[in-house]
Structure 1
Amino acid sequence: MSTALITGGAGFIGSNLADAVLADGRACHIVDDLSNGKRIRLPADAEFHELDIRRADDLVAVATAAKPSVIFHLAAQADVRRALDDPAFDADVNVIGTINVLEAARAVGARVVFASTGGAGYGEYPELPVPSPETSATRPLSHYGMSKMAGEGYCGLYGRLYGVPATVLRLGNVYGPRQDPHGEAGVVAIFCGKVLDGDRPRIFGDGLQTRDYVYVGDVVRAFLAAEAGEPGETVNIGTGTEITVLDLLEGLGYEGDPEFADARPGELQRSALDNAKAAALYGWRPETSLRDGLRLTYESVIAARQAPDARPPGAFATT
């Protein structure tokens, strides 16, 4: 039986990925420092290691004991605002932490699938096509985007220098079950919480800014496809469709007047990812419509409120 190690496996995407790995009959080890991840999201059948990926020696020790064939690297500092306030911390987690993961993979001969960013990586400039293909230049407008691009560079370096097989997935705006409705990231879940509470959702900017919202179940399928595919690739994972923030509210059935606030530094006006390469390499395409994804996310937020002490429902059948 093969083994997978997931960094950030107590998080929103990582815990859904852990469910899929376990459903495949494999052993699953999870590394998470619980700074953003939540213990309640952890599947009972996974082996959990409470650990910061910046602790290099401890991470190598976990990998050496677990002997994974693949490390799915999702642990990250993903808050654009925090990165702006504390860029050194952002780089420490996203650059040094990624180097530590690659060193752990090198120590045990594991391949790496790295969760990078699409929109924050490409940035926004006049020549950038939208949807953006992987051939586009990356010109981040945030420290977070820059640190993720550095992580991509180290994945390539470890492949060239040490033969560590690594694949980079540039993700769109991922949403779905287990996304935190009270966090700073994850506008879909935040809007779900506001609608349930009868509060006015807050929109930064004019609400016409676009993003590529991709359902977490589809993203998990992409991670598994990348694991099985040839390494050394950088691949967009998104729908290729621009959706405005106002579209999200409409999709959730909100009929009131949202609260508008000033746009935040580092935010893009338009973003969507060309997914033709994912289709060509993996046969991957998004299968969940925005309407269905919003419904499933809304239902999951309701379920989590009704049973706050139970493991929140995910995108896959769980134990």
Structure 2
Amino acid sequence: MRVLITGGAGFIGSHVAERYLAAGWDVTVLDDLSTGRRENVPQGADLIVSDLSGPALQRALEGVQFELVNHHAAQIDVRVSVQDPALDARINLVGLVNLLEVVRARGCPPVVFASSGGVLYGEATTIPTPEGAPKTPFSPYGVAKLASEYYLQYYARVHGLRYIALRYGNVYGPRQNPAGDAGVAAIFCGRALRGQPATIFG
């Protein structure tokens, strides 16, 4: 059995790749290495360097067989999504649709989608926030993640796609880039190491 992991050279995706390898799967990583790092790809995984634009993706996956897709490739910086919503939508939303079209052409193998918890619910009024709470994304990044979940629902309804969307929140750990919009735990740790205060909103 082979799994295709998009974004598998990134922080979360590389750990996912390790787990699949440990479970005996064959692993193909697809990553454009714009933020992911080649050294994050675990030994034993095949690496295809490509983005999710339609023609490039079609060429990159020609002849590659897989029984499961784990989609972690994304533009993850909320600030970038605010500064350039078109770029964010091209990567996060159109990239997903391009991938889903490849999946549909291959008979719809199941898809695991890396969504996001915090950006979907906005300033939640109920803590802990239940999954069914109203979705009020406050950034283009959150809007793209929510729209992506709707696209998955559409492909499930019309094409029989089996999928699951994982709404991660504040993931942290080894290989995380502490710069930029890396996640609050890494940011707080970095500030603590520099003797700086941590500002909490909410």
- Same fold, TM exceeding 0.5? yes
The equivalent of 1:12 in structure 2 is 11
Specify the SS of the correspondent of 1:84. helix
Specify the SS of the correspondent of 1:65. coil
Query: Which residues in structure 2 correspond to 1:1-319 (within 5 Å)?
Result: 2-54=1-53, 56-109=54-107, 110-124=109-123, 128-196=125-193, 199-201=194-196, 203=198, 207-209=199-201, 269=202
Task: Give 1:33 shift.
Answer: 0.7
Inter-partner Cα distance in structure 1 for 2:196 and 2:31: 31
- Paired residues of 1:181 and 1:191 also in contact (CA < 8 A): no
Inter-partner Cα distance in structure 1 for 2:192 and 2:118: 27
Which residue identity is paired with 1:86? D
Inter-partner Cα distance in structure 1 for 2:162 and 2:62: 17
Specify the SS of the correspondent of 2:73. coil
- Larger CA Rg, structure 1 vs 2: 1
Which residue identity is paired with 2:145? K
Distance 1:190 1:208, change over 3 A: closer
Aligned identity (percent) is 45
Specify the SS of the correspondent of 2:63. helix
Task: Give 1:130 shift.
Answer: 1.5
In the TM superposition, what whole-angstrom CA distance separates every residue of 1:233-255 from its partner, at most 9, and x where no partner exists?
xxxxxxxxxxxxxxxxxxxxxxx
Inter-partner Cα distance in structure 2 for 1:149 and 1:44: 34
Distance 1:188 1:194, change over 3 A: same
- Paired residues of 2:50 and 2:60 also in contact (CA < 8 A): no
Task: Give 1:58 shift.
Answer: 3.2
Specify the SS of the correspondent of 1:115. strand
TM-score scaled by length of structure 1: 0.60
In the TM superposition, what whole-angstrom CA distance separates every residue of 1:128-156 from its partner, at most 9, and x where no partner exists?
42211121110111111001001111001
Specify the SS of the correspondent of 1:4. strand
Task: Give 1:191 shift.
Answer: 4.1
- Paired residues of 1:77 and 1:90 also in contact (CA < 8 A): yes
In the TM superposition, what whole-angstrom CA distance separates every residue of 1:104-134 from its partner, at most 9, and x where no partner exists?
1112131111110111001125xx4221112
In the TM superposition, what whole-angstrom CA distance separates every residue of 1:174-232 from its partner, at most 9, and x where no partner exists?
11111112343223334444555xx23364xxx343xxxxxxxxxxxxxxxxxxxxxxx
Which residue identity is paired with 2:80? R
Distance 1:164 1:140, change over 3 A: same
Which residue identity is paired with 2:173? G
Specify the SS of the correspondent of 2:14. helix
TM-score scaled by length of structure 2: 0.92
Alignment gaps of 5+ in structure 1: 210-268, 270-319
- Paired residues of 1:60 and 1:103 also in contact (CA < 8 A): no
Task: Give 1:21 shift.
Answer: 0.5
Specify the SS of the correspondent of 1:173. coil
Inter-partner Cα distance in structure 2 for 1:194 and 1:122: 26
Distance 1:194 1:129, change over 3 A: closer
| Alignment RMSD | 1.7
